[in-house]
Amino acid sequence: MKIAYQGIAGSYSESCAKKNYPNAETIPCRTFQDAFELAKNDSNIKAIIPEQNQLIGSINIETLILKYRLNILAEHFFPINHNLLVIPGTKIDDIKDVYSHTAALSQVNSFIRKHKIKENVMADTAGSAAYISSLKDKTKAAIASKLSSEIYGLEILKSDIQDDKENFTRFLVFQKNISQPEFKKNEKYITSFIFKLKNKPAALFQSLTGMSLRQVDMTKLHSFPEKGTFSSYYFFCEVQGHISDDKVEGALKDLEIHCSEFQLLGVFTQDSFRKK
């Protein structure tokens, strides 16, 4: 198996891929779009993409989901544990500057303020680790993953320094080929789809009535504008259950009546994180 991800070696995306698919070959990509493109053009390559973070919210990949319309194979909730990476032998009082992605820096704000370290924004966490490794300067540090420390020969001076100790990112795995697990009543599933409503009053309210009547639990509803307009919107939606379950199938048929466009993106087993 080959898995494409955004970033360079040591990123949290690659860390998630290696944890869940330890035998897979990982392929770094410059952008999310590059990862989607590889998965679209090669059925042997999957793309692992962050979709939402517990603290900062949506990663805003919905337009790419719409553009490529790949099958969602799986979801994985991965803990984002930020570490202070330094040149071996560095002490905390040596550090004057810290480098990382803006989201990572914002999530370790208390630690940075406590130690009076100057923040420096970089494109990604793993890139900041590679940069520190190349400088060989004990006054500079990076905020990045454990995997980054191993790849770039850095020491973890402080681990788990994020302000909120529970910090998970949800990753989705996309592939070209359509597949879904066989429906089993004792298993829990997510059905994912996108839709665009017909232009009529109260369309969204009417479209979701079937889910309420059939007691189908919605886990996500995210709107985003159609390209080139502010008056037409798509919705990225997920519900609990398998499309082969009568109540889910019925609810989606009710929804489609009110849609000008509807596409199933995938059915997959719920990550065990949802049981917490």
> Can you tell me the distance from the alpha carbon of 101 to that of 89, in angstroms, rounded to the nearest whole number?
24
The catalytic position among 26, 125, 169, 191 is 169
* Complete edge-to-edge strand list for the sheet that includes strand 118-121: 118-121, 97-100, 140-144, 83-86, 155-158
Residues 6 or more apart from 186 whose CB is under 8 A from it?
A: none
Q: Are strands 2-6 and 45-53 parallel, antiparallel or unpaired?
A: parallel
Going from the C-alpha of 79 to that of each of 16, 30, 54, the distances in angstroms are: 9, 23, 10
169: annotated active-site residue: yes
The torsion angles phi and psi of 64, rounded to 5 degrees, stand at -75, -35
User: If 0-12 CB within 10 Å is exposed, 13-18 middle and 19+ buried, where does residue 230 land?
Assistant: exposed
Is 235 one of the annotated active-site residues of the chain? no
Residue 72's DSSP bridge partners are: 174
- From 78, 171, 174, 262, the catalytic residue: 171
CA distance 162 to 50: 19
Please, are residues 5 and 21 in contact by the beta-carbon 8 Å criterion?
no
Q: Name the residues annotated as catalytic.
A: 169, 171
